[in-house]
Every structure is written in structure tokens, then in C-alpha cells.
Amino acid sequence: MKFNWKVTASAIAMAVSSGLHADVLPDYQADSAWFTDAQSKLEAKMATDNRFKAKNVILFVGDGMGISTLTSSRIMKGQLNGQPGEEGYLQFETFPHTALVKTYNVDAQTPDSAGTMTAMMSGLKTDVGVIGVDEDIERGNCATVATNEVVTALELAEIKGLSTGIVSTARITHATPAATYAKSADRNWEDVSDMPEEAVTAGCKDIADQLVNFENYLEARYNGIDVDGIEVAFGGGRRHFLPKDAAFNSNDAVSETEGDRTDERDLTAEWQQKYTNGVYVTDQAGFDGIDPAATTRAFGLFNESHMQYDADRGNDVAGEPSIAQMTSKAIDILDNNKKGFFLMVESGRIDHAHHAGNAAGALSDTLAFEQAVMAAVENTNPEETLILVTADHGHVFTIAGYPKRGNPILGKVVNVGEEEPATAADGMPYTTVGYMNGLGFQNLGDETDSDESYNYDIAAGRMDLTGVDTTTPGYHQEALIPLSSETHSGEDIALHATGPGSQLVQGVVEQNVIFHLMDQALGLVNE
């Protein structure tokens, strides 16, 4: 005889709430922390607010923040707090709704950030390496842009009268932030010096130009519709806005040469002339001086290239705000608009640390990203703000071996019941986390700048780690396949959600569904 174990959600709810058959459970089971914790989480999900419409939407994108990065980061977070680590959560992992997201591009099994972010921002998938255009684009061909442009969630929010903002620890012209506002046949066209002459002659605009003149391009593209323009843009990438001229060279600790533009334009000056009520800042002091209550528009470029890894921010005399600080300030400015706002926040350097093969850097920036998400939670009304936390893709980063509970996540594998590191068949110890491909082993000790690894020769394959402290910030994990840069991966990533409309985040979905979730919450396409 077979039993039908299928029960409805309402039956489960009734059983939980009424304590049905609770008397058959032994006390050690019913009182177990594992048991009560799981039950309380279920009850919290059952009590979720089921409203669909939101006043505000904040999309958080951890660039390269795959599932293994989430797991490793939560373990490291716990261990930094003196706990084993495995039992904890990143704060956004406790959001009531979660889905898995398929990340492939139209033409690629393993995606890039341009194609994936365009999917999230437009509602349709596209090719690798192109921004704000559909799959009929020919990468690098300027002539194919005009007939294949897509409308983004940020543009629709502008048209609706909402305030809009972009925050990134990468260059603000890099693929992920650029996909919110730009249309480009190539993600690398960050300024005019990056573009082929034929593209410039044909009238295609570089990404930095499109940011500064977003309002003009949007109004021209959509039949003269009136918009206010992007209210907040914080990130790196100053060099793409300044002319290649010695007069614009920097004497700070970040860079000796600032500008890349070969058209002699200073786009930061153009922005300030265009928005006389706006505030342009380049360092921590300028950022701290922004009064959100009195500011309607802010533009911050805090590094000539990408902003520093979170672990390195203190090394710059001028200083750079953290991703959490930028998020809080952006919200405080944007919520001056009573109609609401759309904000995209990217932690771009998780991805860069992974490309360098430096797990410590990637996990550190993930924890800084978590603080940004919590800053948003604390500074918004949960009844009117939909918060989505996701990634664009993962990396070939894995957790392996059989380490015992609480073993340092960046350490060597020590098996259950043992005290000394386990050895592989080659007689050498090995780490819990590692990479399928990339530059491979580097032991830079306390050095935290992951980019420094690119100054070294590829050292893929096995190394004797017997006398190496693999838990230091500068340790770069072993890699199997030698490549000049570790690669993205093709597996699904996570989407966590809270707020109005978050109950729609469930199951396994295509990445372009994220746009439709935001549209549903804000009524961007149809009220």
C-alpha cells in the first residue's frame, strides 16, 4: 500500500499553528535549536506581506557573487565573530523569498556582465559584450545600435517621474552600471579613446558621454519626453570623463595620470555646467560634505579607475566612501522625491578579486556588500520598498574536501577528528576553497590589493603549502587550468527579495524575469 504524502500549504500552516501531534515529539527534538529555528523561519515566511505595489525599488548586484561565494562569505563572517561559521547567514539570505536565476546569454553558455545586466534591466536576454541592445546587435558595429536599443528599468523610472540612482565600486562606466543607462555595441567603449574611428564618425557615443548627457539622449530617443535625469551616480572611473592632458594629472596616491579622453572634453565640467544645482565630489571629504536634505543631484567619482577593494580603502590618503556609505547617501537624496525612486547598487570588486584568484578579497567585498544591503533595509520603509539582492553570474570558485566543522574557510583542509591538515595523493596539503582556472598560487602575505597578482607569472597547478599561511589577505588560491584571468561560471545564481512584490521571487527563473519583477512592483510599463 502506498501513502500519499502530498499536503497543502494550508494544512502545513494549520499543523504548525495548532501544534497537531506535537505530543509525539520527544522534548530533545521539539526543543532543539535546529528544530525551533527552522519552525520560526517558516512562520515568518507565512506572515509575509502579500502586497505587490512598491513606491521604491533597490536592485543590489554582487558582481560575480555566485552560490559558493555566498556560502564561503557567510562562513567567514561567522568565523570573524568567533563562531564555527556554517550555521550563520548573510543578512539578505534571511529575506523571506528566494529564487535561482539562470544566467546564460543568448550566444553564450557562460555569460558576461554586459549581457546579464542588460537582461535584468530590460526584460530580454542579449549577447555577450553589448549594453542596452537586443540580440540582433552586431558587437562592435555602431550601425546596428539604433535599430536594436532596449528601454531599461531606470529609463522607465525616469519617465514615470521617479528619482534614479546608480552606485558602484567599479568604474561607473563599467558593464553592470552602464547597462542601466547606456546603449553600446561594445562594453569596452567607456570613453571616446576606446572606440574605433568608424564608430565615432558614425555617431555612436561613448558610455561616459551617455551618462553625463543621459537626460538629452533619453528625451531625443523617446520623442521629446521630459525627464529630470539621473539624480545620483557614485562610483569610480574618473579617467573616462577627463581629457588626456597633463593639466588633469593627479598627484594623489591613486594615480599619476587621470584623463583618457582624446576629444579634449572635460565631462565633469560639462556635468557641473549642466546641473548648476548638483554636487560633484571626488573624495571622502567631499562625499561627507553632501547634505542629502539640501541636495537634489550628486555625482561622485572616487577613483581614476575602479574604486579600491574594501580592505584597501584606508590606504588612500584622500579616502573613498564604502559601498554602505554610498548606498545610505544615495537613498537619503533619492527619497526627497515623494513619488519614489529606483536605485541600482553594484559591488563590482567581488568579481575582480575572483578574476585575480584571491578568495579573501572576494569574500571581504561580499561582506561589505552585505552591509550596504542592510543600510538600505534600515533606511527604507519595508511596506513601500522592494529590495532585490542578486548577482550577474558566478565564478569557477569551489568549496571542496571534507574539512571539519569550523575549519577556517580560507585554511587548509583538516578532516573530522584530525588536528593536522589532510594531504592529497601527492603528499601535500590543500585548501578548502580554490579555482578551476586562473593565475594560480601567489603568496603575498598581508598584501590586500588583489590586482597586484597580475604582475606575476601564471603559477597554476599544485604547490607545496606546508609552510604557507593560506588565511592571509594576500594568499591567492591554487588553480587547475592556467589562464591569465580566472573566468566566470555558467551555473545559476541566487535572488533574494523582501518588500512589496517579493513573494513573486520563487522557483528557477530566467535572468530577464528580474526586470518584470521590478516592473510589477513599480508599474513601469503599465500602471
Per-residue pLDDT of 365-411, as tens digits, reads 999 999 999 999 999 999 999 999 999 999 999 999 999 999 999 99
**pLDDT reported for residue 378:** 98
Contacts with 122 (C-beta within 8 Å, 6 or more apart), sequence order? 132, 134, 150, 151, 152, 153, 512, 515
The yes-or-no verdict on residue 422 having pLDDT over 70 is: yes
Cell numbers found for residue 251: 598627484
The yes-or-no verdict on residue 1 having pLDDT over 80 is: no
The yes-or-no verdict on residue 6 having pLDDT over 60 is: no
Least confident of 12-26, 34-48, 458-472: 12-26
Query: In this predicted model, what pLDDT tens digit does every residue of 310-341 receive, in sequence order?
Result: 999 888 777 999 999 999 999 999 999 999 99
Q: What are phi and psi of 308, to 5 degrees?
A: -70, 155
Cβ–Cβ contacts within 10 Å for residue 444, how many?
A: 17
**pLDDT reported for residue 333:** 98
**pLDDT reported for residue 33:** 78
Band (pLDDT 50/70/90 cuts) for residue 283 is: very high
**pTM higher than 0.75, yes or no?**
yes
Q: CA 19, 25, 27, 33 torsion: positive or negative?
A: negative
Which sequence spans correspond to the domains of the chain?
57-396+487-522
The yes-or-no verdict on residue 436 having pLDDT over 90 is: yes
**pLDDT reported for residue 197:** 96
Question: Which amino acid type is present at position 45?
Answer: K
DSSP string, 70-100: HHHHHHHHHHHTTS-STT---GGGGSSEEEE
* Residue 278 Cα distances to 83, 274, 289, 296, angstroms: 46, 9, 13, 7
Bridge partners for 374 per DSSP = none
Least confident of 165-174, 254-263, 280-289, 465-474: 254-263
**pLDDT reported for residue 153:** 95
Cβ–Cβ contacts within 10 Å for residue 524, how many?
A: 24
What's the chain's average pLDDT?
Answer: 91
**115/404 Cα distance (integer angstroms):** 39
113 is catalytic: yes
**pLDDT reported for residue 22:** 57
DSSP string, 13-59: HHHHHHTTTGGGS-HHHHT-HHHHHHHHHHHHHHT-------SEEEE
Task: Please identify which of the residues 72, 113, 122, 364 carries the catalytic annotation.
Answer: 113
The yes-or-no verdict on residue 19 having pLDDT over 70 is: no
Query: In this predicted model, what pLDDT tens digit does every residue of 49-103 receive, in sequence order?
Result: 667 899 999 999 999 999 999 999 999 999 999 999 999 999 999 999 999 999 9
Query: In this predicted model, what pLDDT tens digit does every residue of 109-155 receive, in sequence order?
Result: 999 999 999 999 999 999 999 999 999 999 999 999 998 999 999 99
First to last CA, the chain: 53
Contact 365, 353 (CB under 8 A): yes
User: What architecture does CATH give domain 57-396+487-522?
Assistant: 3-Layer(aba) Sandwich (3.40)
Which of 359, 352, 412, 339 has the alpha carbon at shortest distance from 170? 352
DSSP string, 355-366: HHT-HHHHHHHH
**pLDDT reported for residue 40:** 77
**177/214 Cα distance (integer angstroms):** 13
Which DSSP state fits 421? Answer: P
* Residue 133 Cα distances to 124, 167, 280, 342, 419, angstroms: 9, 22, 30, 21, 55
